Chains A and B, each alone.
Chain A
Amino acid sequence: MLLSLRAAPSTRPPTPVSRPVRGLSRLARFSWLRCAEGISLWLAMVLMLFVHPMYAEAGPLEAEQPGQLYLIDHKSAWQEPALVLDSRFQVSVSGLLAQTRLTRTFRNTSDRWQEGIFVFPLPGQAAVYGLTMTVGERRIEGEIQPRAQARTTYQQARESGRKAATVEQNRPNLFTSRIANIPPGEAVTVELRYQQPVAYRRGEFELRLPTTLTPRYMPGTPVSSPAGSWQAGWSVPTRQVPDAPEISPFTVLAEDVNANSHRARIELEIDAGFALAGVSSPSHRLQVSVDGSRAMVQPEAGPVLMDRDVIVRWQPVASQAPMAALFHQQWQGEDFMMAMVLPPATTGPVLRRELVFVIDTSGSMAGESIRQARSALLRGLDTLRPGDRFNIIEFNSEAHALFMQPVPVDSRVLARARRYVQALDASGGTEMASALSLALAGQAPSDTGNGLVRQMVFITDGAVGNESALFDQIRSGLGNRRLFTVAIGSAPNTHFLREAARWGRGQYTAIQSTAEVDQSLGALFAAMEAPVMTDLEVVWPVGTADAEPARPGDLFQDQPLIQVVRGVAPLGEVAVSGQLPGGRRWQTRLDLASAAPGQGLDRQWARGRMDALMDHARLAGEQPDEQGIVELSVRHKVMSPFTSFVAVEKTPSRPEHSALDQERLPTLLPAGSDAGMLRYPQTATLAPLLTALGLLGLMFALAMAMLSRRGV
């Protein structure tokens, strides 16, 4: 095209023009044409030079660097993940427990056999009690086995070509499922059944279904750095978190996975047991149909992206807010009962407090989270009264306190604190231990005698891998303080935050969105200021009653007492009493005969007993009673840290000569959080594209100009 354009003027005589033109202007026009030809030639040259290397380098690259071939498949397109994940939550709430059927379908879109590995969150208090693998029409029921044995069973099935599925617990709220031998182009479905207690606070029931996890920080020095390779993305084991690689799945953006993958269908069926006033969600828009005490709930948008926790709340009609509830169930000839009692609200004298705010400014908080945390902290500063003392500690890779020690509140220091909070930014690691030791230190002798109530507010997403060590630190350093935790973000580590508050004799609150900061924290700060009921006692009519938790913790305002007990028939009365500040004693009695039928109480009790055994080991500083936990776990079919579910197909399906590929499914980055420092930055400009387009356009224009001149 370029050549013909250039050739055209020379072959075509410039003279035959229709109208008479004066010689001078003809000459000018001719030289203009010459000039344009010259320019267009030069432009063409520049464009060629500019575009040439892009074609030149596309070809020989693969030959030169064979090691990098794996990135590009034969169509030189980026290889799509082979497995597509489809999740379905079918939740049925009955009374205080929610039973969930979580069905995950792993579809193999590649033409090779695949093994899928998926690390996923469950609620921290979940009791997992069933696994079923479905292949085509066949359903294979999983069985519970000690962890090591389950692994061996799975490995053997995997090697022999049989389809198999297993689920094991990495943390109480973090599980790994493996599915072996998914045939090319087919799907394997794994159904997980678990139950979780429903939270009841401030006259409102709440259920939280986690769908993804915030990438966790692994403190400690790497144990072994494999020579010459840094396993980017997958955390390597560290001295403090030896299982770091297992709990650090790749986190990707929603647009990086298949358009149908990582979507969850959610169906919720609520049987509240009282007339419902409404059902709402701070995380998703819901489609609700209420019928008396029953409700069917699902997200309005259909399948939802698994990038944030699904939260559903329901409220009773004002006069029907339950103050107590009893459930009874017989399981294998044994009686199980569950009791919920809500003490009435009381008022007490205004407390003078020493308040230490600890705020997480690590990289995982970047984005929406740090904004929520900042406004939570500012809201906390507003609750301070003259006579109180306070301090602020921020931590990422290092901890930093605003003041050397807690200072009395006055307008000057408050203004300084507000400026400090507003300037907080999120980046770096999550060295929580140093922040805790800073917050738990500084027990000046004069402070203990001056009647100050010492409280700590810990604002974080809990994205750490060394939870257990931190619980120990809280327990041993707590003294007479109380630790309150505030969960931030779309997918906080609620297990860590709930347990930290429990070991810290405090309470846990989650913030769903910036708009909710005021409401959620208002309730928390009200509870912190209200009197606490201590020394709780529950007396069951049978002496041999086996209750979990055996010794309930202190109760804050609007917080119910919940106990599950084994070996109590629905006869007689249960007495609940507690100590209020100022020596008053509160007590109430419930008639056991009025108990409603319940389900899953035995599992709830077993989970509680296993937690108690783990707690006991932590308090005594010894290894947990593994034997006892495994026995409980197998008897009640409830998963524990030492047992896993495994389901294996009877006959092999993968031919021996076909290889098995392995794919680790990524999880989605929680909504609202910045990809953070761990993501590769965008390092290309639009310059080459703009230049190429500009050159092309100019050439085109010049060509047009020449043609039109000639055509005149």
Chain B
Amino acid sequence: MSRALLLIIGCSATLLVFGLWIPFKALVAQELLELAWAESQARQTAARPWPWADTWPVARLEFPEQAVSLIVLEGVHGESLAFGPGRVSTGAPAPMILAGHRDTHFRPLQHLQPGDPVRLQSANGGWQSYRVLDARVVDSRREAIDTGAINPDALILVTCYPFDTLDAGGPLRYVVSAEPVYAQEQNETVAAL
């Protein structure tokens, strides 16, 4: 009896540890990535956050309304998404497509409203502001990302949908598209005049 009990406790505890390990890893990795990001900005080269990593930071993403700041990694394979949102590798003149786990980094996506600001910092330190255009739910079995059809300046954020479900393999995706905001200074000058 007590042996069976011990077994159940052991298994459950392991499951719990694994379950909590994923968000914990996601949280801690972002701290480590801050260092790698600072380094890649300083050296202007892709710096790997730890020697055996097969990904590297490529940008910093901010949702000012939610006070969220994330380091974006290269690639959307499982290893990179575990540590941060990933950039989908596309051809040269294509929109910036970022994907993240709905349970960890891209959980705040559900609170983004059309018109909300999104900021992206590239490796050279320059910030680009975006404005959320819309958010849609798509069925990934029927639809694919057609990079040719999207404005090449756009920013696309992808995560799984629905946000609160236990099923990790569902076909639905939550897609937030944002357009760049240019000429902010100009507007301010006009306002000042």
Asked if A15 lies at the interface with its beta carbon under 8 angstroms from chain B, I say no
B16 touches A236 (CB 8 A): no
Interface residues on A, range: 35 or more
Asked if B12 lies at the interface with its beta carbon under 8 angstroms from chain A, I say yes
What CA separation (Å) do A398 and B94 show in the bound complex? 13
Q: In the complex, what residues of B have CB within 8 A of residue A521's CB?
A: none
B81 touches A681 (CB 8 A): yes
B139 touches A71 (CB 8 A): yes
Given A57-B163, A692-B166, A701-B9, A681-B99 contact (CB < 8 Å): yes
Asked if B29 lies at the interface with its beta carbon under 8 angstroms from chain A, I say no
What CA separation (Å) do A65 and B134 show in the bound complex? 13
Given A428-B92, A698-B13, A685-B103 contact (CB < 8 Å): yes
Q: In the complex, what residues of A have CB within 8 A of residue B5's CB?
A: 701, 704-705, 708
B99 touches A683 (CB 8 A): yes
A687 touches B160 (CB 8 A): no
A235 touches B145 (CB 8 A): no
Q: In the complex, what residues of A have CB within 8 A of residue B92's CB?
A: 397-398, 428
Asked if A420 lies at the interface with its beta carbon under 8 angstroms from chain B, I say no
Q: Which residue of A lies closest to B133 (CB)?
A: A228
What CA separation (Å) do A696 and B5 show in the bound complex? 14
Asked if B101 lies at the interface with its beta carbon under 8 angstroms from chain A, I say yes
Q: Which residue of A lies closest to B22 (CB)?
A: A687
Asked if A659 lies at the interface with its beta carbon under 8 angstroms from chain B, I say no
Asked if A278 lies at the interface with its beta carbon under 8 angstroms from chain B, I say no
Q: Which residue of A lies closest to B142 (CB)?
A: A250
A682 touches B12 (CB 8 A): no
Chain B interface residue count, CB cutoff 8 Å, equals 70
Q: Within residues 207 to 243 of chain A, which ones have a CB less than 8 A from any CB in chain B?
A: 218, 222, 225, 228, 230-236, 238
Out of A54, A61, A231, A698, which one reaches B16, CB within 8 Å? A698
Asked if B150 lies at the interface with its beta carbon under 8 angstroms from chain A, I say yes
A233 touches B13 (CB 8 A): no
Proximity string of chain B (123-161) to chain A, C-beta cutoff 8 Å, 1 when within and 0 when not: 000000000011011111111111111110000001110
Given A697-B12, A701-B5, A684-B149 contact (CB < 8 Å): no
Asked if B169 lies at the interface with its beta carbon under 8 angstroms from chain A, I say yes
Q: Within residues 639 to 698 of chain A, which ones have a CB less than 8 A from any CB in chain B?
A: 666, 677-698
B103 touches A688 (CB 8 A): yes
A433 CB to closest chain B CB, in angstroms?
A: 14
What CA separation (Å) do A695 and B14 show in the bound complex? 10
A700 CB to closest chain B CB, in angstroms?
A: 7
B146 touches A681 (CB 8 A): no
Asked if A252 lies at the interface with its beta carbon under 8 angstroms from chain B, I say yes
Asked if A68 lies at the interface with its beta carbon under 8 angstroms from chain B, I say yes
B159 touches A701 (CB 8 A): no
A435 CB to closest chain B CB, in angstroms?
A: 14
A349 CB to closest chain B CB, in angstroms?
A: 44
Sample of 17 more A-B contacts, CB < 8 Å, known A681-B99, A687-B20, A688-B166: A65-B137, A68-B137, A71-B139, A78-B139, A78-B171, A225-B149, A230-B146, A232-B143, A233-B144, A256-B171, A363-B91, A682-B78, A683-B173, A687-B103, A692-B19, A693-B12, A700-B8
Smallest CB-CB A-B distances: 3 pairs: A697-B12, A694-B16, A690-B19
27 contacts between A and B (CB under 8 A): A71-B172, A228-B133, A232-B146, A233-B146, A236-B148, A398-B91, A427-B90, A427-B91, A666-B142, A677-B89, A677-B145, A677-B147, A678-B144, A679-B144, A681-B158, A683-B106, A683-B159, A685-B103, A686-B168, A687-B19, A687-B103, A691-B19, A694-B14, A697-B11, A697-B15, A698-B9, A704-B5
